[in-house]
Amino acid sequence: MRGFLLRIFFVFALPLLLMAVWWFASDGSTNVFWPPLRSILDTFPDVWTTERLKDDVLPSLWRLSAGYALAAAMGVALGTVIGSYRRVRAVCEPVLEFLRAVPPPVLVPVIMLFAGIGDTMKIVVIASGCVWPVLLNTVEGVRAVDSVMAETARSYGITGIARLREVVLRSASPQIFAGLRQALSIGIILMVISEMFAASDGLGFTVVQFQRSFAIPDMWTGILVLGLLGFLLSVVFQLVERRVLGWYHGLRAQARRSP
């Protein structure tokens, strides 16, 4: 029980401290662009009603989920192939380095020409940025598979799909999840950017509309919603990671306890 309470304290201590600093630093502010936190919190329930959450948050979550899932599938599949074969890696590496260096927001106008301004464009933009950390971490994870383990699996006749699932992907899964974690934060950023370019709903669209109409406290509530959304998605990701990689975290904990 004490350990649980300590974990709760460490999770919420810094956010509460920052909120307190923000509260006192902005208290009494007359700057229209820097309203008091008190005013922002008072405005919050009036702005983010159930109807607005349905109309703006749910579409954003749908686009983020679709783009993220597409990037995860492409990144793991291509990364496994590239990481498994040296010649494929030698051919693809220069192209991958070039494409990775292109900032995804720059591609938004180009993607709009081919995919229009609907949900497809936003999903493609999110996927185009999220795929790289997943792909590159998968490549490195597959390359780092222990050769002794691979030979042992081969000697026991573990080949094909079984070898891919039980040896290659299982060994690379910690690094794959590291890439997925990085991709999640990139996906949230690209979700907002894509909705700022051309949209009629979504969190990015709503924040820009508030800014253009000089509803500054409302705009700040949108920023808070984005922060809360990122925090909740991070918590969900950690729960999934702990469940899927329970064996890995167990091995690390055992290694720390060993003399």
Domain boundaries, the chain: 54-257
CATH topology of domain 54-257: MetI-like fold (1.10.3720)
pLDDT of residue 255: 65
Residue in this structure with the two tokens 């998968």, named with its chain if needed: 138
111-142, pLDDT tens digit by residue? 888 877 788 889 999 999 999 999 999 999 98
Rg (CA), the chain: 22
pLDDT band at 109 (very low <50, low <70, confident <90, very high): confident
Coil, helix or strand at residue 34 = coil
Distance (Å, whole) CA 181 – CA 230 = 12
pLDDT above 90 covers what percent of the chain? 37
Alpha-carbon distance 79 to 223, whole Å? 34
Q: How far is CA 233 from CA 65, 127, 154, 184, 190, in A?
A: 11, 17, 39, 8, 15
| Model confidence pLDDT, tens digit, residues 17-35 | 888 898 888 888 788 888 8
**Pair 76, 134: CB distance under 8 Å:** yes
- The arithmetic mean of pLDDT across residues 198-219, rounded, is 88
Q: Where are the beta strands (DSSP E) in the chain?
A: none
60: confidence class by pLDDT, cuts 50, 70, 90:
very high
**pTM for the whole structure:** 0.89
Residue range 155-205, pLDDT digits in tens? 777 777 877 787 888 888 999 999 999 999 999 999 999 888 777 888 999
What are the pLDDT digits (tens) for 71-103? 999 999 999 999 888 888 888 888 888 888 888
Question: Is 4 a residue whose pLDDT tops 70?
Answer: no
How many contiguous H segments (helices) and E segments (strands) does the chain have? 13, 0
* Confidence (pLDDT) at 130: 93
Query: Residue 143 and residue 251: Cα distance in Å, rounded?
Result: 21
The span from the CA of 79 to the CA of 90, in Å, is 13
- Asked whether the predicted pLDDT for residue 259 surpasses 60, the reply is no
